[in-house]
Copies of this chain bind each other. A is one copy, B any other.
Amino acid sequence: MGEFELIRRFFTRPVRRAVLGVGDDCALLAPAPGMQLAISSDMLVEGRHFFADVDPRRLGHKALAVNLSDLAACGARPLAFTLALSLPRADAAWAGAFADGLMALAEAHQCELIGGDTTQGPLNICITVFGEVPAGQALLRSGARAGDDIYVSGTLGEARLALEALQGHLQLPPATLAATRLRLETPTPRVALGQALRGIASSALDLSDGLLGDLGHILAQSGVGACIDTRLTSALLTAGPGLDTELLRQCTLAGGDDYELCFTAAPTLRAQVEAAAAASATPVTRIGSIEAQAGLRLLGNQGQELLQRYASFDHFSA
């Protein structure tokens, strides 16, 4: 047995939900009657999505977390996933730690590994995740209506702050760096909140590239515009004293790698949104509203319209 075959065994676990798991040509899943299968694929590449020296346990967590976050954004309950892993060397210590981080998150969400592929090559992780959602109840990007409130879960911008510090662009106090780095390297997929928002949110997505850029997808697919009030978003990042206010605003509005949910709901449903947040133990903050006219307006500290546009993650450091 080759070493890659040994490593493959780290990822072979018995399945409880799937009809058939790892070890045949295909895995077999049987969604319950009336359920639709929600499916998402994300590929993580060394140097682009993570640093070469990242803790493999955290990388295992993140690789699944970003996929679970897509299920959360659809309001789906996680069921299973496949893992395709390309490794430069058959490094059992690395692979074992990666598997530990991956499987701990998988078990926390009762999401089982049902298949995959392990090969030699530049470090690359591709996960495809499967969830189930009652037919017709998936949260989509296309449902926002003029007048809806806009919300985000949790906090925004810490991951970007950590990234900037790790790249040497700014200095953070050690405790702040450790805390923000945890957010960058072990994001929390908002799985319970997504399911609690079924029937309440009119649209939703998860924030991977930055709030304003990602919100743009909801606006485009719903054919609407939006107004975001930075007096409300400023509460989303309180990373401690000594940091430039404008930098914090950039990280909040366009930081990326947050894996929080952004969603819209009719103002008549504010109590239900609060109840969903409480039931899933996930803080949510109302940050603006959907408008009929296309475009994204930003309000400043005095309620004035800000002319500056905040670009998405890709262009932040350009």
Q: Is A48 an interface residue (CB 8 A)?
A: yes
- Report B-chain residues with C-beta under 8 Å of the C-beta of A131: 26
Q: Is A37 an interface residue (CB 8 A)?
A: yes
Tell me the A211-255 residues at the B interface (CB within 8 Å).
221
Bound complex: CA of A221 vs CA of B20, how far in Å?
13
Q: Is the CB of B122 within 8 A of A39?
A: no
- Report B-chain residues with C-beta under 8 Å of the C-beta of A71: 25-26
Q: Is A197 an interface residue (CB 8 A)?
A: no
Q: Is A176 an interface residue (CB 8 A)?
A: no
Q: Is the CB of B124 within 8 A of A206?
A: no
Q: Is the CB of B74 within 8 A of A25?
A: yes
Q: Is A272 an interface residue (CB 8 A)?
A: no
Bound complex: CA of A70 vs CA of B131, how far in Å?
22
Q: Is A108 an interface residue (CB 8 A)?
A: no
Q: Is A128 an interface residue (CB 8 A)?
A: yes
Q: Is the CB of B28 within 8 A of A119?
A: no
Bound complex: CA of A27 vs CA of B208, how far in Å?
17
Bound complex: CA of A24 vs CA of B204, how far in Å?
9
Q: Is A43 an interface residue (CB 8 A)?
A: yes
Chain B CB within 10 Å — which of A36, A39, A42, A116 has the most?
A: A39
Residue in contact with A116 in the complex, picked from B41, B82, B141, CB distance below 8 Å: B41
Q: Is A115 an interface residue (CB 8 A)?
A: yes
Q: Is A280 an interface residue (CB 8 A)?
A: no
**A290: min CB distance to chain B, Å:** 18
Per-residue B-contact encoding for A1-25, CB less than 8 Å = 1, 0 else: 0100000000000000001100111
Which one of A97-105, A132-140, A299-307 contacts B?
A: A132-140
**A178: min CB distance to chain B, Å:** 28
A-B residue pairs in contact (CB < 8 Å), sample of 11: A24-B140, A25-B204, A25-B205, A26-B70, A26-B76, A30-B31, A41-B128, A42-B84, A43-B85, A45-B86, A45-B119
The 10 lowest CB-CB distance pairs between A and B, nearest first, are: A45-B121, A126-B126, A25-B73, A43-B84, A26-B38, A122-B122, A128-B128, A41-B82, A25-B70, A26-B74
